[in-house]
Structure 1
């Protein structure tokens, strides 16, 4: 039996059980000949990691398939809660943008909110690529499947997927009357109200799913003086999905949705003696620790933001057997404005107003032409435009405005094939040709527009061997590509009009997928080596006159990344499941040279070349570990009690390329020298602490009324150990440093949820 990864939302019987039971809950009642729970192990999960339905254990890709019940049982709310759920995967929220995620996989990341920059990890929702980091921090209610693909996925998912892909699918309209409702309350006056209503409009022809998600919180930061709670967030996500099935071989799915968010964005101070701004802030705002202190804010103004995004997605498929044709069309637009007190308190205030829209169209043809050969091919088009207008105030005085406008276009054609050329031996491969064009304008700096284009072919070759039904070994070589572009925050004519080039990776991977002990145990292992070239590295530097700073991207480095990762699932008895994953990454730069201006003690300006080859790459923890357990107690009738526990460990990692200020005297000992200055490490302030995150929950699921409806009551605790520290840390400028700030991660949180499904 092959089963899709199924969703139960945050309500219903499936959410209360271990994940194999969540799958069973969607199936007819078992008969004497039906498979037992222990037979329905991970190798029966269907994934779409290669744009075709395949079992997890026969897909030659390092992919983690996360059943929604695994996350919902611990009250997972958004994509950030995936952090630690898969090996070598890191997800944090970028505080200077609305619903913005910083995502790293296998030591490859790009952390910036600007829409002129492309993310390194592709986030796909219902087959649609989200073109910026803004909007990637998604709500996790009403999800059908989540797949985390590790390693470059350029052949099928396109450019800007050099680190991997997070592939998310939401549930389809059922065509039957039904509803899922949930209310929750937790620490910091966090309230959630969520609902999905399924309605059959025309029996077997037209159905609709209506959804509404509301989330609000008072936040877990405080004003250092008034003790007022800070960090408020109010988010609404609503829409409708229509399913049209006029014939047996054609269907169309149209989703219309909108997200409205109003939020505060406050930062804890990481300023220290030696930072320029430290001389102008209250004494207690400097030299603070990175644990409890960063939960306090020295506020001068209300830092606030608003974000509105609308989207329409149309998916159509026609099955002509043996060929299938798919079309995915999508339009997304967003408007946002944020006013940030970045310098604390009131020394550097940015008022940012942005507009963005994207359109994408993909056509695919696929088919099983023979018993041993299948393929997926397609054409893809993507276009986006954005405008950013920003005004900046420094020390209470107007310090200038920025008006940047950008356009990006991408065309691609791709082909991916499987050929079983001998018993148990399969050769897979293909490639994608991509052509990118970008244009950039900054009328405050220069007239006209800067333009550039790039083209790249990204191939992939995989050989896998299946000696029996319970084992597969594979080897893969693939190439990934991330488009070049322009610096959206360049403040000089040169930096704003000079493009940076694409970056590429060549990835080599060996993997093993196996099940044993009557499929009660599954173990997947992958080892990888990545040659990372022309890395697009973001740096915040002091301007060449010493007046202000700018954030620019340069192709400054290459890197070698190697590592290993493993996923283990053990089900010793029907109602008990253990899961574990571990990842190890060893990443190091090579040839990372940066030329930048330096302000000396006598206020003179010189230019030096710095060698950052010895510093740590950003968002690349050496170790990630997760341990999870679920146990189901069956009570009277169909009532169940489910206990879950999950532990995640993340070793320290750097969040920015920024020289350690304590080394400045040594680095600049020879101000007139011309030799390259070595930088041995990053600023300790941008280094995270080790994270030990423990989550617990208990859920009672019970029938309601005639038994066709289900109720659920869940109590949960996230971050039981109250492990505190920075979720995001940043220093502004170097030589000299101006200031530094951080946002804290979620502290210990208690909550309760009440759900109902019929």
Structure 2
């Protein structure tokens, strides 16, 4: 399969987007082709083929054709991109680009891949799994983006731009129904005076019964129901260069945070569970579950104000963001019919951000983006745990009289600049940097035993970038760059002593070296891009087991070791004839840890464990996609047929314990060599076949369409995420099986 996809990439591969008029900043150094794809992820408007970074642009049609509910269906569509859902939190995602990720939903632990919606960064993993609705264009930037996007983007950025109010009267209405009693309705309504005032209103509802079968409750499991609604108001005075958009929205979601039990006989919980619920496989068995009923309730109101003003060749931009989330979630983490570990988690989180920037030309051949950034957030968590309760009707907060409380606060500010300088004919230097400062605070306590500890610390970092590109002609560009990204330090929410709760872990950094080339060929029928990179990952933040606390050991976050990741990426688009578009992408990666040694428990004692032989998580050696789209003109309109295959090699989703080899000094174990991750946290190979057919026609003067679609038509069954917990139990989430349905829509 890998050879087939590589061969397809060499024949013609994605930039699956049409030209979009984006409003972010400034003209690029090269002329803009009227048919070119315009991207704004470098905070300036420039063509994809003249942007000297590894970037993939994806338009709304790709997600629409799959009837996607969220951006998770982008997995495998852009080189080196994985997006999987994390059921332990609402709209929580495990995002990985180029093998860099961090799978933890605690809000004190920051992402490694930034998700930016209309210029506002989402500060936690919760909320990153955005709805695939009303998106104008989505851009995937690969590699550290610290200069323009700041801390916590060491893997890259997913930049989402939603549609703007059109300033004209119009609407788009759509409904879909599919397998698992899944249905959704979408509505976008625009009103305006055609020039200076406009408003956009939208509503999106999605619900499903879920694709799991719970034999304990005798009901489908994995159900969810979500609503997203809001309004965007736009003001653009006539004969003025000022433009302002105020967006007010809310997301509500109720869902079943189901997990599949993958515990085996070596783990404690299996001693208390029925035999048929243990030692199950991690493919077809995942879809039968045994857990008690649980529910998650999530609300996330948000507001964004973006203002742009062009003053004499300098474009000034202000983006103000506010986001508040409220979560109440119960969850049966052991996934069995026995009441062993059931939790009640209640959280509130608020973030406020402000970015001010200016973009323009200092002189001919020299353009810039400079700015200031401020961010603050705070959250509180209360968790009640019913451990070995054997009393499923007792609420966790009645059973647990010593509930845990965590309070955290972050305050960050930064100054940045990014510059392009055409130093000679056909040569350009890109350079810039960002100075960031983060103040972190965390307090950990329990209801009965009181304060465990608290910590407060500031972290500062300068993240530079420099690159050079060469354009021998208008159809090709070669570039090379070095950039540094960093992920801020902080405090451990699971620390169990005053000393560890007040001791911070330090920032981690990634130095990325990249070379690439972008080509237009065959009279611009073929666009082909390739990039090679080496990422040097230092001072990794990883969970570590050390002595202390009421149970004798505790889990804290520490800086340990590093990793080296090397890779080659390709993407392209070929339009060999009218109406036919072929796209493909590919990523080949090789990665390994360096000096990854942390404490863990062996024979009742804490000794150093060397994990250097383990795989990095969410880092498949090969992933890629091939897609075909054909538009046929008909007497009533057109028929658009799409067919796509995404291939993802097996990947691990947790640093865990496979086979162990103790290193002895006499009768004393001095170190334990870990011989790889637990096999249960490895996915099977995924070959995801998607297809759709859309009939476009006129209906009483309006544009109407009917679409039939299918996802994962080969019915691949495997995990998307899996975790083992300290020799106690293990659980997993399953990949959506074969799904199909139909959509009816109208636009006027």
Structure 2-normalised TM-score?
0.92
2:219 aligned partner: 228
2:241 aligned partner: 249
* Distance (whole Å) between structure 2 residues aligned to residue 695 and residue 45 of structure 1: 25
1:50 aligned partner: 42
1:702 counterpart (675, 697, 700):
697
Per-residue deviation at 1:448? 6.6
1:95 aligned partner: 87
* Distance (whole Å) between structure 2 residues aligned to residue 717 and residue 366 of structure 1: 44
2:677 aligned partner: 682
* Distance (whole Å) between structure 1 residues aligned to residue 620 and residue 255 of structure 2: 30
Do the aligned partners of 1:649 and 1:693 also contact (CA within 8 Å) in 2?
yes
Do the aligned partners of 1:335 and 1:354 also contact (CA within 8 Å) in 2?
yes
Per-residue deviation at 1:251? 1.0
Alignment pair present for 1:593 and 2:587:
no
Instruction: Please list the CA deviations of residues 90-130 of structure 1 after superposition, one character each: whole Å capped at 9, or x if unmatched.
Output: 11001100000110000110011110000000000000000
Give the superposed CA RMSD: 2.1
Do the aligned partners of 1:322 and 1:369 also contact (CA within 8 Å) in 2?
no
* Distance (whole Å) between structure 2 residues aligned to residue 95 and residue 494 of structure 1: 32
1:209 aligned partner: 200
**Equivalent residue of 1:675, what SS?**
strand
Do the aligned partners of 1:295 and 1:743 also contact (CA within 8 Å) in 2?
no
**Equivalent residue of 1:442, what SS?**
strand
Per-residue deviation at 1:556? 1.4
2:585 counterpart (560, 581, 586):
581
Do the aligned partners of 1:507 and 1:530 also contact (CA within 8 Å) in 2?
yes
Instruction: Please list the CA deviations of residues 516-567 of structure 1 after superposition, one character each: whole Å capped at 9, or x if unmatched.
Output: 011111100000001110011235x597579397553221120011100000
Task: Provide structure 2 residue ranges, at least 5 long, that are not aligned to the other structure.
Answer: 1-12, 22-31, 391-398
Matches within 5 A, 1:277-296: 277-296=269-288
Matches within 5 A, 1:544-559: 547=551, 551-559=555-563
1:33 aligned partner: none
Do the aligned partners of 2:690 and 2:710 also contact (CA within 8 Å) in 1?
yes
1:644 aligned partner: 642
Cα distance, 1:597–1:24 mapped onto 2, change above 3 Å: closer
2:333 aligned partner: 342
Per-residue deviation at 1:51? 0.5
Task: Provide structure 1 residue ranges, at least 5 long, that are not aligned to the other structure.
Answer: 1-17, 27-39
* Distance (whole Å) between structure 1 residues aligned to residue 736 and residue 546 of structure 2: 32
Alignment pair present for 1:470 and 2:472:
no
**Equivalent residue of 2:451, what SS?**
coil
**Equivalent residue of 1:44, what SS?**
coil
Do the aligned partners of 1:321 and 1:367 also contact (CA within 8 Å) in 2?
no
Instruction: Please list the CA deviations of residues 708-753 of structure 1 after superposition, one character each: whole Å capped at 9, or x if unmatched.
Output: x2001000110000000111100011xxx00000111100001000
**Equivalent residue of 2:670, what SS?**
coil
Per-residue deviation at 1:678? 1.1
Greater Cα shift, 530-539 or 742-751: 530-539
Alignment pair present for 1:427 and 2:432:
no
2:687 counterpart (685, 692, 699):
692
Greater Cα shift, 145-154 or 547-556: 547-556
Per-residue deviation at 1:596? 2.4
Instruction: Please list the CA deviations of residues 224-250 of structure 1 after superposition, one character each: whole Å capped at 9, or x if unmatched.
Output: 345421111010000000001124210
Do the aligned partners of 1:651 and 1:689 also contact (CA within 8 Å) in 2?
yes
Cα distance, 1:497–1:21 mapped onto 2, change above 3 Å: closer
**Equivalent residue of 1:328, what SS?**
strand
* Distance (whole Å) between structure 2 residues aligned to residue 536 and residue 496 of structure 1: 16
Instruction: Please list the CA deviations of residues 340-362 of structure 1 after superposition, one character each: whole Å capped at 9, or x if unmatched.
Output: 11112320011100000000000
* Distance (whole Å) between structure 1 residues aligned to residue 60 and residue 304 of structure 2: 22
Per-residue deviation at 1:668? 7.9
1:12 aligned partner: none
Instruction: Please list the CA deviations of residues 20-72 of structure 1 after superposition, one character each: whole Å capped at 9, or x if unmatched.
Output: 9984899xxxxxxxxxxxxx999710001210000000000100001211221
* Distance (whole Å) between structure 1 residues aligned to residue 712 and residue 594 of structure 2: 37
Alignment pair present for 1:314 and 2:305:
yes
2:323 aligned partner: 332
**Equivalent residue of 1:69, what SS?**
helix
Cα distance, 1:22–1:146 mapped onto 2, change above 3 Å: closer
Q: Post-superposition, which runs of at least 4 consecutive aligned residues in structure 1 deviate over 6 A?
A: 18-22, 40-43, 668-671
Q: How many residues align?
A: 711
**Equivalent residue of 2:356, what SS?**
strand
Matches within 5 A, 1:266-277: 266-277=258-269
Matches within 5 A, 1:621-632: 621-632=620-631
Structure 1-normalised TM-score?
0.91
Do the aligned partners of 2:663 and 2:671 also contact (CA within 8 Å) in 1?
no
* Distance (whole Å) between structure 1 residues aligned to residue 543 and residue 223 of structure 2: 30
Do the aligned partners of 1:41 and 1:519 also contact (CA within 8 Å) in 2?
no
* Distance (whole Å) between structure 2 residues aligned to residue 188 and residue 332 of structure 1: 32
**Equivalent residue of 2:153, what SS?**
coil
